[in-house]
Structure 1
């Protein structure tokens, strides 16, 4: 399998990274089976976060006795130094380890620096000196914050959205990281589930020797697809290029990436599903989204409190309330018989 060196960290990995956000949705037993098969298939890089409910616990259980074989990256959304230590120590407990390979600030709205008044970077350094973490990283969805993190020289890795749907300036971040000896980890390589061809997603990322994509996996069939890509890498050929051009034309403009940073919604709206409904019903069998459960979820949009919280939190600057209303109108028209 093709290997990648993650900047100056000294970490090497297969070109398949395991994104452990989706294992929140499955049982401990199913998660363990998938994770162990991933290791047997050559995957060594596992990405999780304190924010991902029981994901760390599931990884910790599955990786018990296999810790020396893998790289674990997790994240903190701390806002204070006290929260930093609480979250770090809980992550260590749940992951059943005494150190974390890469510890990342999780999508902060600024770039933590020494002397910025928060003390966050200082405690990150303290944790590294204590051996609780080995490398300092940052994840983000905001281009200016990501650029600042690279320019600062303070971080060993950057995790940022990267797929064939990304804008040119987003793709350029990966090259800038490589030029600065910084590891680049590609999140949202499937664009939050909107990309439904694993071979094309893999082949696109495989063009970049300095990019480590992490794939969100919750089914054995999904894992099998990426293991096969790793063993027999698909070529990014003319058919794939034409397919990507068509995808970019269809998915250009303002669309929800499903990152979930607008959640929870005080009105109970599942924003990262509802704001993408128009796309999902056109990219999967429509019947999946026409059941009573989805209809009830979409109707919650009518109870929007207009608090503007989702718009303020969106790292992509979307007018989320307007996007929700647009998706609801389209959904109701499809329910009434509008052809897709």
Structure 2
């Protein structure tokens, strides 16, 4: 069985350079060779550059640009290569564009990709997205080597069809959100699901050694789809499928200061994580911000999953208050809503 472990480097923004280098080198030493980052992930690229300086030929590195003009493209690429201390990227990806870049579309950015590839600065052209329409257009275009798209065992039939469509088009499929932003808490079931698809490589977002070691253990002892794991998946699909927030953050920032990508999934998180972590005074203040909603609907317009975000926030706030009341936390005036 192919090693279904890629390293998603977004979370290493939250740890120090030394901690990140230690984590990245541990991943490499134990068998992970694919690392995905982005210009958007603050110092993530810098940390990968520090970890793999002098051993560039030992790893595969993918990064992303959100550029929509040639000027921004070349600036991003130069910055990324400098940060990573390399002169090439294995994959350079358009980062969640709301259109599918193509030659002659007027933006000029796909032409930049082609030129960078001719120069040897990138080896493969990829695209990431959260929109089925853009993802399908990218596959149909024949212009891309890889597609990065959310994919986990909560996937819809349309998501699974997208994976199969990529395989038929001889495109690699990089699976982001393989744990659905923390809603999936059974890594063995998550891994076994991904392993069913030959052309899929999940990138696990980790920032702690114990999280990393869990996935590293699957290299020598990969989970297979057993009846027990299938029951876990069936239970989670029943509980979580539907109109839930994936936590992608593309609705942000909120003009009212609401942390939408945390607040809109609180009802689910509070049932799947240690409860007290979600009931602190700071978390209660965060949820209270929902009452400041301006109903401007900017979040709805930006949501790639077409969720009614304001309605979802209100439902989560109502549920949260009921949970607090049930925990008898409202006796303290400071914690009252």
TM-score between the two structures when normalised by the length of structure 2: 0.95
Moved beyond 3 Å, runs of 4+: none
Tell me the equivalent position of 1:8. Answer: none
Alignment of 1:6-155 (within 5 A): 14-155=3-144
Tell me the equivalent position of 1:329. Answer: 318
* Residue 288 (structure 1) aligned with residue 277 (structure 2): yes
Partner residue of 1:255 out of 227, 244, 267? 244
Alignment of 1:230-269 (within 5 A): 230-269=219-258
1:179 to partner: Cα distance: 1.0
Distance (Å, rounded) in 2 between the aligned partners of 1:271 and 1:219: 25
* Residue 166 (structure 1) aligned with residue 155 (structure 2): yes
* 3-state SS of paired residue (1:75): strand
C-alpha distance after superposition, 1:127-178 (max 9, x if no partner) = 1111111110001111111111111100000111111001011011111111
* 3-state SS of paired residue (1:163): coil
Distance (Å, rounded) in 2 between the aligned partners of 1:272 and 1:207: 30
The root-mean-square deviation of aligned C-alpha atoms, in Å, is 1.2
Q: Which moved more, 1:15-24 or 1:306-315?
A: 306-315
Distance (Å, rounded) in 2 between the aligned partners of 1:65 and 1:294: 43
Distance (Å, rounded) in 1 between the aligned partners of 2:220 and 2:55: 22
* 3-state SS of paired residue (2:300): helix
Tell me the equivalent position of 1:274. Answer: 263
* 3-state SS of paired residue (1:24): helix
1:307 to partner: Cα distance: 2.3
Distance (Å, rounded) in 1 between the aligned partners of 2:51 and 2:255: 35
Distance (Å, rounded) in 1 between the aligned partners of 2:42 and 2:101: 24
Q: Which moved more, 1:53-62 or 1:16-25?
A: 53-62
* Residue 156 (structure 1) aligned with residue 142 (structure 2): no
1:338 to partner: Cα distance: 6.1
C-alpha distance after superposition, 1:97-116 (max 9, x if no partner) = 11111000011111111111
* 3-state SS of paired residue (2:257): coil
TM-score between the two structures when normalised by the length of structure 1: 0.94
Unaligned stretches of 5+ in structure 1? 4-13
* 3-state SS of paired residue (1:184): strand
* 3-state SS of paired residue (1:100): coil
Q: Report the count of equivalent residues.
A: 328
Distance (Å, rounded) in 1 between the aligned partners of 2:281 and 2:194: 38
Distance (Å, rounded) in 2 between the aligned partners of 1:314 and 1:124: 27
1:266 to partner: Cα distance: 2.1
* 3-state SS of paired residue (1:23): helix
Tell me the equivalent position of 2:302. Answer: 313
Distance (Å, rounded) in 2 between the aligned partners of 1:46 and 1:54: 14
